[in-house]
Amino acid sequence: MVIIGRRYTILCDTHLGPDSMQEVTRFLASVPHPENLFIFNSHSDWDHIWGNCAFPDSIIASHTTCRKRMLERGEFDLSRQKARARGLVKIFLPNLTFDSRLCLDDDEIECMHAPGHTIDSSVCLDRSGNIIYVGDLVEDPIPYIDYDRIDVYIRTLKSLITSSAQVFVSAHSGIITRDLIRSNITYLNAVLTGKEVDTNSFGTYKTVHQANLNALTIFRYEALARETLGDAFSFETFWSAIPDPEGSDQKSLENFLNQYLHDIMTRKGFQ
């Protein structure tokens, strides 16, 4: 999403690399102040930040945990997903970070921390147009869960429903409605409370539901591995060992992670 403000032109996320941004670059040549480009990274997932490198002289803003997450996993994600890159990708980190909120008052823009899909998720509100860019927080029919605090995720989505925004823009689902947000909340509540979820209406997203359940299991063991290893914990080592989250059943994954944690504790002398 591009917002043309009075002072800055705000670009929300940069997709899969510099080639993805060629159309955006052509469009920016027609706006009043193309040199004042302000990039907003909604979160640190690779399919939202790889095009940062197409704008090396621009402000790149994000939540503080987004920069931290990119430092930890940016190169790992690039090595794992490099076949999806569009153009030569270099990881460009945010050079302006915020804790809860960042306002561009001349342009009536607010960037706000909104954890849920990921711990570092944020939204960008265009106050003058009552338009809000929500990144991956809302998706049709269900969102991906990449953060273990589903209660926080639900609270974030409820705040979107009560916001002043009239138009909601999802990174993957385009313009969405409050009804879809409510549907996402219903789904997240079911996952949170352990209710059985009817996936028949999800289509290809059936695998997303399984990936979400698996992700929550993996996060639990990742926390234990971090606690056990301390400074010796390696994000790349841990996640490189994990089977495909969408292709694994929960029981097999849990057995694998139990053994993985047992091996770690044995090497550390706890058993």
Residue 180: φ, ψ to 5°: -65, -40
Q: Hey, which residues does 70 pair with through a beta bridge?
A: none
| Residue-wise pLDDT tens digits, 97-156 | 999 999 999 999 999 999 999 999 999 999 999 999 999 999 999 999 999 999 999 999
CA dihedral 145, 150, 153, 157 (to 10 degrees): 100
- Residue 245 above 80 pLDDT? no
| Residue-wise pLDDT tens digits, 177-232 | 999 999 999 999 999 999 999 999 999 999 999 999 999 999 999 999 999 999 99
Reported confidence tier of residue 270, pLDDT bands at 50, 70, 90: low
| Residue-wise pLDDT tens digits, 84-99 | 999 999 999 999 999 9
pTM of the model: 0.95
- Residue 79 above 70 pLDDT? yes
| Residue-wise pLDDT tens digits, 19-63 | 999 999 999 999 888 789 999 999 999 999 999 999 999 999 999
Residues 6+ apart with CB under 8 A from 30: none
- The predicted structure's pLDDT at residue 236: 94
